[in-house]
Structure 1
Amino acid sequence: MTERDHIESAAQMRLRHGSPAEQAELAARAAQDPALRNDLAAWDRQDAALRALYDPVAQEPVPAALQAVLRRAERRAERRSGLPVWSQLVAACLLLAVGATGGALGARWAERAETPLAMAAFRAFATYSVETVHPVEVAATQEPHLSTWLSNRLGRQIAPPDLSRSGFSLMGGRVLPGVNGPAVLMMYRDAQGRRLTLYVAPEPGRAEQPPEFAQRDTARSYWWFDDSLGCAVVGDLTREVLHGVAMEAYRQITGA
């Protein structure tokens, strides 16, 4: 395409999406120009294909993860103003954009390459989920002590989420070394003996990030950053099952 062709195409596109008078001018030109008529027909076909592809997405409900981000942003806006609220909204917009590009929003969450948080969570799961003798340091039977111990080592108040609605009961927890200080690992299992872990590590100064999906071999994870903490739920489960469990943990930890 020559520079002249490019300029003419740009002008034609401007007229096509301009005022009614400009669109009428373009139609009059097309009536005298077969090549322009072909261009307009091709653009019409492209528009129709895009509408067929993305119109259904626009009618889908807003994902639960995005709704949670927006609700929390609204609540925090009542308590403080400035960048933290806008960072929530930016994250929400990014999540929406990624979902739309993927072709469906629904219950899907964004996917991206593993972060150091996700990698550490995968390593912890691989190491301790197969342990039969000492899978945890402090058992769930000592739950009050467990919560206090984990909170003291993490330097933040943390209580193991109740995941019984998703069919998983707490086995206990342990403390692990982390990049920014001690991290904690809580382990759960269901009636079938399947195990999953919740890895929580300090992430000072980290911008809040809604849950995202990652996978390593058969292990899958949903991870997020919130209030200077990084959290990752990991399990050798289907994505749908893990999604439900992770959303429950996310709601309880963040108060979303």
Structure 2
Amino acid sequence: MITLPPSERDLHAYVDGQLSDADRQTLETCLATNPELSRQVLAWQLDAQNLRAGLSGELHRPVNPQLDPAFIRQRLRGSRTRHYATAAVLLIAVSVGGLSGWQAREMTLTGNAAPMADAVQAYRMFAVNDSMASDWNTDQPSNVQVWLDKNFAQANRLPDLQSAGFKPVSGRLSSTEQGAAAMVVYKDADGRTLSFYIRPPAERNHPLPRGSRRDGELQADYWSGGGYNYAVVGPADDPAAKAARQAL
């Protein structure tokens, strides 16, 4: 059973899916009230996802404990900078050896993960949690567009989804290695949830072409403009979400 506040070991176990259902629910409740800690956990989850994507071919080899993302994060002492991420991949390249290691490094540096994977992860972690701490909500005097403009100059306007019944209800700032990111949560009268996510393009990446992809039960529709990448994320098969996507 985990303790509160959670230890670093508890957080790593949560990221690696090793907690029981009860402990996982306890920890998610704690994260919902601690924005700084939840951002750290989200960054670890994205680190693990990028490492797995970069080494997808090597994951078919026999299990090597030294290549486990939790082990690597412990070696890096929780660092989230680009230099430390590169050092982690170089360490793996030495362990694996040969050309495949350098290919994995190049894939990681060029962001070869699925488009806007962090937008999908942010939706799963925060968008459907009504108790999450927010940096903007409807009780504040300024509207959500004003709030976004303060943090993202020259960005595209926030999508207007009112024709599909969805209105912005809260917003949350986060961070990436390239700069600030944000998620705006929309809800309709029946409590269905969508999210709009904005972030700077990953280093060495070109702007995203307009497209969409399915990730489990969710669908992400993404595009670029004004120097930023965007995604609207929501349930893939929900009729209301489909109507909202048509309104984009």
Q: State the TM-score, normalized to the length of structure 2.
A: 0.47
If each structure's helix is expressed as a fraction of its own residues, which one has the higher value?
1
Bigger CA radius of gyration = 1
